[in-house]
């Protein structure tokens, strides 16, 4: 067995698989040969004969019923009765036809009722079944002159309360004249299910065999089981409507099922026998198979145990070692594994030890490098963010504007008062509070700025706000919207004399991001300039000094502030069409880090 221990896993598994396959093939081949002949001889032959007899009986009895229906349908007295309009004449014929129908009924045992239902509300029945079949008359599956099976029905307490077969045929007027070949009514036969099967008895050759005659609605017409006529045949895993035999699950048991179609009633003859009953005669063969299988297992047990042990012992040791490494104990990471065994596991152990040595080296280098990079990047980000947020201290301007506002009020200069008061609000907003505010406060500051511009441009544009309550409560960086509104006014409305409109919209998306749109219907942006702006916005965050000469420094600064504070998936997007306006969209997420 030392030789096996040195083989590769693939070689050991091939030996095990080959031995198992050979043994199983011998057992399966032997079993199949013995069982197939026995099952074929003891079951299929019996079922075939039984089904043939049943089909003959059903076809014969159906033909008798159909001939009687045709005779009645073409009877001149029946047809005259259905078209007769005189009530007295009709009554006289009713008595005569009742006797006639009673005689026809006696010609075939099992006919419970004969019903003639006319289109002019005339009818004849022998046992009172007409009232149950009137609704069926207009729903017949086939309105031809051929007799048709229309399924099984229950007629309350009539006919002993049992389910009965219903056959129907249309009655066409056969005499020359205006009504020739026109439908004048329907003939119904109510037939006991036993009349379709005749006197044949089905005593199964194989114990437990169940035979069912099912109609097209899978109702039991006749059977040798406990299911009564009219019962719904229970559902199976597969609908056994086609021919041939198969093994199906039914009531938690495996059955060998054979089926044969019955076109006469659109039904099926079904034969079922429990699979274990068919195998009852095979106990001797099964015993032999168990003995052979036991001997085979004993022969395989010794090499199997050796091979499994050779595979699992080093693998378990390797798994335990890896599990220990995953716990993250720095001291245990210094350990190395030594495995003795087959070639593959030895290679794995050697490569794992080499990998751990390399990981130690790389981890140390990575920690040192990351420490340096993190410190450098942190200082850079802090410097950039401080630069982007820095502004000229507006305290002195704020005090001066308040003084100008007071003078304007005294002198009655309302425009000056409005402009200075709005500008004063902007400066006060910029110097007080935290670096982040609810969007509602930012909107109020932007509104102050827009009032100044509306006075400057003498009402050449209107502004519309469309913001949700959830958006108004969302926290955003200060002074994030004013540069966008300023661009819309100076680059969208100033170059044109037509009156414009400015929209400011805000909503929170399903991903939890704030979407703010500033849209104008001004002169728009030329395609080349728009592409240039998009390239500037898509570039990585860099210091604003790189765009100091650009006309879009405000747009770029806003984009960089948002990216630095909320990540690269946020920022500014711009869409425009020359002559139709511009839309700038700000995407702001939840703050990922505290204020610098």
List the CATH number of the domain containing 459: 3.30.565.10
- 351 and 297 belong to one structural domain: no
Segments forming the whole domain that contains residue 37: 1-313
Q: Are 253 and 274 in contact (CB under 8 A)?
A: yes
Q: Which residues pair with 125 in a beta bridge?
A: 115
Angle at 252 between CA 246 and CA 257, to 5 degrees: 20
Give the pLDDT score at 508. Answer: 93
Helix or strand holding residue 407 (H, E): helix 395-411
C-beta neighbour count of 53 within 10 angstroms: 13
Q: Which two tokens stand for residue 215?
A: 């109609």
Query: Which residue, of 388, 410, 425, is where some domain finishes?
Result: 388
Q: Which residues pair with 124 in a beta bridge?
A: 116
Dist. CA 164–CA 155, nearest whole Å: 8
- 499 and 569 belong to one structural domain: yes
Let me know if residue 462 belongs to a domain.
Answer: yes
Give the pLDDT score at 582. Answer: 94
Helix or strand holding residue 157 (H, E): none
- 383 and 520 belong to one structural domain: no
- 343 and 309 belong to one structural domain: no
- 117 and 238 belong to one structural domain: yes
For the chain, which ranges sit under pLDDT 50?
Answer: 141-142, 383, 387-388, 390-393, 395-396, 542-550, 593-596
- 366 and 247 belong to one structural domain: no
What is the distance, to the nearest Å, from the Cα of residue 227 to the centroid of all Cα atoms in its chain? 39
Give the pLDDT score at 572. Answer: 93
- 368 and 239 belong to one structural domain: no
Query: Which residue, of 358, 373, 388, is where some domain finishes?
Result: 388
Q: How far is the CA of 322 from the CAs of 57, 327, 352, 498, 555, in angstroms?
A: 76, 9, 10, 74, 53
Q: Which two tokens stand for residue 225?
A: 């089981």
Q: Could you tell me which of 417, 469, 406 has the C-alpha nearest to residue 443? A: 469
Query: How many CA atoms, within 13 angstroms, populate the side-chain half-sphere of residue 130?
Result: 15
402-430 core/surface letters (b: 16 or more CB in 10 A; e: else)? eebbeebeeeeeeebbbbbbbbbbbbbbb
Give the pLDDT score at 547. Answer: 44
Let me know if residue 353 belongs to a domain.
Answer: yes
Q: Are 223 and 210 in contact (CB under 8 A)?
A: yes
- 77 and 6 belong to one structural domain: yes
Q: Which two tokens stand for residue 305?
A: 């145990």
Give the pLDDT score at 207. Answer: 57
Dist. CA 512–CA 145, nearest whole Å: 72
Give the pLDDT score at 244. Answer: 57
- 361 and 288 belong to one structural domain: no
Let me know if residue 410 belongs to a domain.
Answer: no
- 376 and 444 belong to one structural domain: no
- 172 and 262 belong to one structural domain: yes
Let me know if residue 452 belongs to a domain.
Answer: yes
Q: β-pairing, 461-467 with 500-508?
A: parallel
Dist. CA 393–CA 378, nearest whole Å: 26
Q: Are 230 and 162 in contact (CB under 8 A)?
A: yes
Let me know if residue 419 belongs to a domain.
Answer: no
Let me know if residue 209 belongs to a domain.
Answer: yes
Q: Which residues contact 350 (CB under 8 A, 6 or more apart)?
A: none
Q: Which two tokens stand for residue 457?
A: 């441009």
DSSP-based three-state secondary structure for 109: coil
Give the pLDDT score at 349. Answer: 76
Let me know if residue 285 belongs to a domain.
Answer: yes
| Domain count of the fold of the chain | 3
Give the pLDDT score at 544. Answer: 45
Dist. CA 236–CA 238, nearest whole Å: 5
Q: Which residues pair with 210 in a beta bridge?
A: 272
Let me know if residue 425 belongs to a domain.
Answer: no
- How many residues are given for the chain? 596
Give pTM, 2 decimals: 0.43
- 283 and 355 belong to one structural domain: no
């Amino acid at each position: 067995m030392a030789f096996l221990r040195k083989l590769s896993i693939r070689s050991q598994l091939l030996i095990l698989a080959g031995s198992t396959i050979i043994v199983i093939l011998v057992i399966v081949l032997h079993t199949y040969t013995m069982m197939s002949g026995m099952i074929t001889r003891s079951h299929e032959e019996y079922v075939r004969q039984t089904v043939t007899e049943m089909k003959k009986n059903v076809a014969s009895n159906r033909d008798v019923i159909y001939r009687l229906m045709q005779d009645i349908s073409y009877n001149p007295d029946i047809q005259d009765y259905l078209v007769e309009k005189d009530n007295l004449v009709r009554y006289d014929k009713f008595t005569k036809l009742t006797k006639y129908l009673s005689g026809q009924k006696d010609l075939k045992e099992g006919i419970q009722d004969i019903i003639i239902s006319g289109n002019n509300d005339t009818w004849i029945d022998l046992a009172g079944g007409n009232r149950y079949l009137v609704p069926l008359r207009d729903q017949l599956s086939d309105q031809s002159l051929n007799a048709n099976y229309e399924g099984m029905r229950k007629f309350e307490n009539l006919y002993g309360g049992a389910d009965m077969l219903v056959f129907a045929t249309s009655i066409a007027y056969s005499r020359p004249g205006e009504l020739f070949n026109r439908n004048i009514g329907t003939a119904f036969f109510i037939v006991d299910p036993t009349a379709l099967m005749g006197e044949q008895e089905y005593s199964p050759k194989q114990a437990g065999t169940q035979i069912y005659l099912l109609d097209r609605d899978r109702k039991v017409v006749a059977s040798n089981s406990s299911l009564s006529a009219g019962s719904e045949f229970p559902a199976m895993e597969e609908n056994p409507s086609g021919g041939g035999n198969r093994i199906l699950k039914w009531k938690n048991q495996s059955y060998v099922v054979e089926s044969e179609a019955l076109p006469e009633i659109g039904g099926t003859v079904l034969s079922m026998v429990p699979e274990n009953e068919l195998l009852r005669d095979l106990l001797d063969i099964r015993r032999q198979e168990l003995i052979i299988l036991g001997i085979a297992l004993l022969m395989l047990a010794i090499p199997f145990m050796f091979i499994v042990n050779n595979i699992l012992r080093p693998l378990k040791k390797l798994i335990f070692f890896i599990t220990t490494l995953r716990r993250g104990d720095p001291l245990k990471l210094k350990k190395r594994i030594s495995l003795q065994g087959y070639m593959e596991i030895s290679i794995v152990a050697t490569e794992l030890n080499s990998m751990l040595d390399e990981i130690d080296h790389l981890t140390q280098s990575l920690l040192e490098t990351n420490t340096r990079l993190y410190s450098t990047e942190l200082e850079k980000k802090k410097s950039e963010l401080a630069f982007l947020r820095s502004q000229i201290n507006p305290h002195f301007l704020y005090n001066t504007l308040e003084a100008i506002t007071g003078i304007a009020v005294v002198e009655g200069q309302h425009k000056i008062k409005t402009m200075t008061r709005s500008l004063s609000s902007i400066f006060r907003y910029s110097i007080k509070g935290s670096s982040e505010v609810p969007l509602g406060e930012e909107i109020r500051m932007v509104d102050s700025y827009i009032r100044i511009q509306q006075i400057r441009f003498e009402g050449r544009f209107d502004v519309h706000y469309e913001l949700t309550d959830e958006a108004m409560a969302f926290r955003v960086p200060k002074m994030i919207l004013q540069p966008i509104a300023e661009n819309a006014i100076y680059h969208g409305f100033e170059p044109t004399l037509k009156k414009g409109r400015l929209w400011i919209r805000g909503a929170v998306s399903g991903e939890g991001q704030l979407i703010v749109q500033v849209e104008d219907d001004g002169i728009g942006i030329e395609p080349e300039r728009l592409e240039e702006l998009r390239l500037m916005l898509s570039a990585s965050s860099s210091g604003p000094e790189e765009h100091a000469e650009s006309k879009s420094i405000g747009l770029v600064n806003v984009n960089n502030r948002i990216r630095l504070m909320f990540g690269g998936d946020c920022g500014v997007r711009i869409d425009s069409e020359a002559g139709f306006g511009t839309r700038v969209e700000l995407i702001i997420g939840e703050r990922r880090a505290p204020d610098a």
